Each structure stands twice: as C-alpha cells, then as structure tokens.
Amino acid sequence: MSFDEKLKRMQELKTKALLGGGQERIDRQHDQGKLTARERIEFLLDPNSFQEIDALTSSATDQSNQVIVGDAVVTGWGEINGRKICIFSQDFTVYGGSLGEIVGKKIAKIMDIALKTGTPIIGLNDSGGARIQEGVTALAGYGDIFLRNVRASGVIPQISVILGPCAGGAVYSPSITDFIFMTDKTSQMFITGPDVIQAVTGEQTSAEELGGANSHNSKSGVAHFASSTEQETFEEVRRLISFLPLNNLDSPPLKNSNDPINRENKNLTKIVPDDESVPYDVREVIEEIIDDKNFLEVHELFAQNIVVGFASFDSKTVGIVANQPMYIGGVLDIDSSRKASRFVRFCDSFNIPVVTLVDVPGYLPGLDQEYGGIITHGAKLVYAYAEATVPKITIILRKGFGGAYDAMGSKHLGADINYAWPSATIAVMGAGQAINIVARKEINEAKDKDKMREKLINEYREKLEHPYIAAAEGYIDDIIDPKDTRIKIIEALQLLENKSESLPPKKHGNIPL
C-alpha cells in the first residue's frame, strides 16, 4: 500500500469518526433540540482551537455490526479566551452515549492529561449510563473516572455540563466536580428513574420533575447554573472560566475593567435601610461596589437567603459571600450553610480572595432544622472560613447576631480585615429577644409592661447593639463610611496580595460532613 493510499485510509477513518452513530441518529438528536457532541465542542471552545485525541479508538458497533470509529465520546483539548482547556463530550448518537471500557479509558486519559498539565477539565455529559452489554468493565470505567475526579479536586477546576440524561452511577462524577451546568427541559440527573421509583415506592413523577434543571438548581442544590438553551449554557461556562485560574498554583486571570478604584459608593445608604427589619436586595450592594457591575452568581436559585458568586475588584477575581435579607431575613439555615461553605472552600483551593458582606439575624430555628442537622451543616461554614488561608475581608453592613456573626467570616475565624458600617449592630441577639430573656422578671413586675420593655430595649441598643464594643476589642479593624466600601476593600486586597499563611501539617482535616 502506497503512502497516498495509507493517507487516504486515515482520512476515511477520521471522516467516519465525525459521523458518530450516523446521520439518522444525528438528525434525531437535532429533532430533540440537542446539539451533537462535536457541535457542542465547537460552540464552547475558541474557533479552530480543538485538538482531538483518540478519534480512532472503537469498541461500539451499529446494528449491522459495522465498527463505529471513536465510540461514544469525543476527547481532546482546546482554548477558551486563549487559555488551554481539556474536554470530553459524550456522543448520544452512539449507543445512547453509554459508557463502556473504551469510553471510560478515553475520558480517564484526557483527565490524566489535564491533571499533569494543570489544565481545567470540562465534561459535556449526555449519556444513558453504563453500557449493559459490557458488564463490569463499564462499571470499572466509572470507578476510574471517580478516582481521577477526587485526585484532581482542588488541583484543577472541574466543570460538568449536563446536556441530556445523566443517571445511576454516572451522576457521581459530576457531583464530585466543582460546578454543574444544566439546560432546561433537555437535561436530567437522578440515581433512579421515575419507573424504578414508582415500582419501589409507589410515587409517580416525571424525569423532568425528578431530575430536571429546575429541580436540581432550586430544590436539591446539586446543580449550580441553569440556562434555557445549550448555546446560553456554553456562554455561561465561558464566563465562569474567565474568572478562574487554570490550577491551584496559578493566579486568577485579570479582568478587563476601567472602573476607577477610588470610585465612591454614595448609593449604598439608599440601598440599605437603617431599620434592620426592612429587607433589601444585597445584589444591589454587590453590584454597586464591584467592577463594572459584573457579578456571576453561583447557585442563584438555591438557598436564596445567601448569595455567592464571582466578581472582581481592581480587575482581580474575588469570591463574594453575602447574606440576603430579601429571603427569610437572610438567616443561616442548613442549605445556605452548605452552599456558602462549599463556595468558600472552592475559593480557598484556587487562590481566590473571599469578600463577605454580613447582615445576619442568626440561625433559623425549628424542628426541621434541628432534625435535619443544622448543628453539623452550620458547622461546615465555620470550618470553611477557619480553614481558608486566602485573603479574607469582611464588611458588616447592618447586623451580626449570635453564632451566625462568628460563622460569617468573623475575625475570630481568621479573617484578615474586618470592617463595619456605623449602622452595624453586633450582639449575641437582637434587643427584643435579649430583653425578653434577661429582663423578664423586671418587665413582669412593672406597672406598664410595654413602656418598661421599650425602655429596656432602647437601653440595650444604646449599650450593646453597636459596632464600637467590637472595635474597642479589635474584632473590627475600622468603622467606615459606606461610601468608602469599595475603596477600603480594594486597599485591603492590595495589602493582602502577597499574604502567606499555612495550616498545621496534617493529611487533611475532618470537616463535619
């Protein structure tokens, strides 16, 4: 065989690989409102940047026993905004994207390359699960992927994009990764499907209700982002990547911003009411102080009493954690503690400073919370802040009460710079609750109980419910004019840019899971 013939054979095989499971199945994929594995890569990555590997592997065959070149996944690397990214994209046109031995090996190989080169890994998931025909070798493929997910955790960013079904053991890999994106109406995640649930428990549900984008973004908290279309999903993935470093030894990229670092925030006193019982949207505070109002919120629909996400100050990425008074008063509960602690730990893993905005009345009381383990889940947030060695800056906007004050990036958990507005109230609990406990006898013995109670509340507020006691103890580094909030945060970040802090030598801590 001549060289030209050999070259022709290679080109024929690669052309065949481009068709996946064949044109008929590609058309069926499009009819369902879904892109193919290769189209997704083209939409997500920079034009002409994708370099495929393992295109000629194969184990799958079609109904006529013709070998399907490339099997059910496309792997390789490319670029997003000029920065290297490793990627795999499951091909639903080949055996429903099912994972067999070859598919598992292909994914494991690109994950190994990502880890060795310090490159983020993105997985585009669209699979019916393990390939039943291959038995234990398919299960082995999942196990190999899980191991690499864990080894890569905290070393390189791992992003999962769910673009079709993701069921059974397949969901564990995305759940170990750092961020999960889902697309409305076309992506689902669940351990057992609707039919199995009905057979075992008698409960009736649909795939969308059970594991759709809305369910996992708003109820379970499994997913972090939801979009209407695949194209919108890819735009959000690219936006997230723009905030993140390539690995744990890298610094986050600089954002393009001309927002003046000395810009005052005169609107803050209009956004935040003086009365601590009046709600406001903390996102308005965030957008007022960050660069260019460019805030990428994470977990937007889940545990809405706390807001987390990425932004920048002076063009440098930060993670923001903020209580949200618009939703159940901004209290901490099980879900918000889980949400914020995982976000803080991600930021700490990847050298991203944490800015915390505090307006918290305490932990949410109730039997459901206690029986659900608020003690353990609430402790996760304490653990995350205490463990984090990245720069930590905290601003108390309005109130910080009880253990929730401690948990929200307090000086006592190792925050570097802590500020408070003059309107801030820091105490064990609010005046009304405190007086009901400490002055119950005095109130009951008074002739005019309401007048006495009001008098004692005002005295309590004057004596204890202000930031100056904390400032006197050094727990607050300075009390600042709200209009200087952005300036103060940037100055603190500049100071802490070369912060160096390490934890005591140990294999790892035992976070209360």
The residues annotated with a catalytic role in the active site are 168-169, 403-404
d(CA 407, CA 396): 13
Cβ burial of 300 (10 Å; 0-12, 13-18, 19+) is middle
Q: Residue 79 in 3-state DSSP?
A: strand
Q: Which residues contact 103 (CB under 8 A, 6 or more apart)?
A: 71, 72, 73, 90, 131, 141
Contact 469, 460 (CB under 8 A): no
Q: Which residues contact 279 (CB under 8 A, 6 or more apart)?
A: 325, 326, 329
Q: How many residues does the chain have?
A: 513
- Record the tokens describing residue 340, joined without a space: 């914020």
Closest Cα to residue 360, out of 318, 310, 403, 418?
403
Q: Following CA atoms 382, 385, 387, 390 in sequence, which dihedral angle do they give, to the nearest 10 degrees?
A: 180
d(CA 72, CA 90): 6
N- to C-terminal Cα separation, the chain = 62
Q: Following CA atoms 323, 328, 513, 379 in sequence, which dihedral angle do they give, to the nearest 10 degrees?
A: 60
Strands (E), 361-435: 392-401, 417-420, 425-427
Contact 418, 476 (CB under 8 A): yes
d(CA 401, CA 37): 50
**Which residues partner with 311 through β-bridges?**
318
d(CA 34, CA 28): 9
- Record the tokens describing residue 231, joined without a space: 């194209």
d(CA 358, CA 407): 10
Closest Cα to residue 87, out of 78, 96, 98?
78
What's the Cα-to-Cα distance from 9 to each of 12, 15, 51, 72, 206, rounded to whole Å? 5, 10, 20, 22, 47
Q: What is the DSSP letter of 251?
A: P
